[in-house]
Amino acid sequence: MLPSLAFLKHQLEGILRNKFAQGHQTSGYLAQLEQLPASYDAYLEFAHSLADIPMRDKWSYYEPNDLEEIWRECDPDRPLGQIGVLNLKDSSKRVEAGFLASVCGSMLGKPIEVNPSLSELRQALTSVGEWPLNDYISEEVLHALDRRHWSWFETTRGRIRYVAPDDDINYTLMGMMALEQFGDGFTKRNLRDLWINHLPISTTWGPERAILVRSGISYLEHDRELFNHSEIEAWPDFLVQDTELCGAAIRADAYGYA
């Protein structure tokens, strides 16, 4: 049931790269990792220590997570007054258009979510007479590209019968469900429960998948016990790579729509 030591080491290496990119003083930590004995206790102790790595001297960027700290870091001379009058009828149409556009964009890109370059895409589209692209991706384009995403059978032109599941769309729906069920005072515990109940692990990627796994473990541990919310606060800093990738604006679409 425990992850392999090789996997844990790989995670720790990635976290150190992330920490360096975020301005932390990581000098010497990779060497420490290489010298650790091959044991879970040693790796876990090292993982816990990474949350306290100091920032490098003269690092000019400060990105707090706490809302009050974020407000304090904002430009005090920024406009604070009303920026316009909200027309609910007009806004509802914009929200609908924005959501449908995000769905269409997701479906458009899914068949080629295999990291092709723009040059490769242009060559494939040109070879079948579909450059510039003005419709969903065809199977002919995928043949020319010579690789495809596994969802191609439900997301290519002529095969689309419904909106295929996608993590970007799922997070908008999770946000909507959080607001509908708990209001704007929803908690991280509420989100944990929604994720466990509605997100298959195969539909999450990167740091979200790691957090979902941790959510499942916490549910196993605390199914019939009181749950300490402070436990969730420590999750992003413990054995989770690429936490910066959680900052995509699409994760907050539902709250903007509301």
pLDDT tens-digit readout, 218-246: 888 877 677 777 888 888 889 999 888 77
Within the chain, where are the H helices? Answer: 5-21, 29-35, 40-49, 67-73, 88-109, 118-127, 139-145, 152-155, 167-182, 188-198, 206-222, 230-234, 253-257
- pTM (2 decimals)? 0.83
pLDDT for 248 equals 62
Model confidence over 70-106: pLDDT tens digits? 999 999 999 989 888 889 999 999 999 999 999 999 9
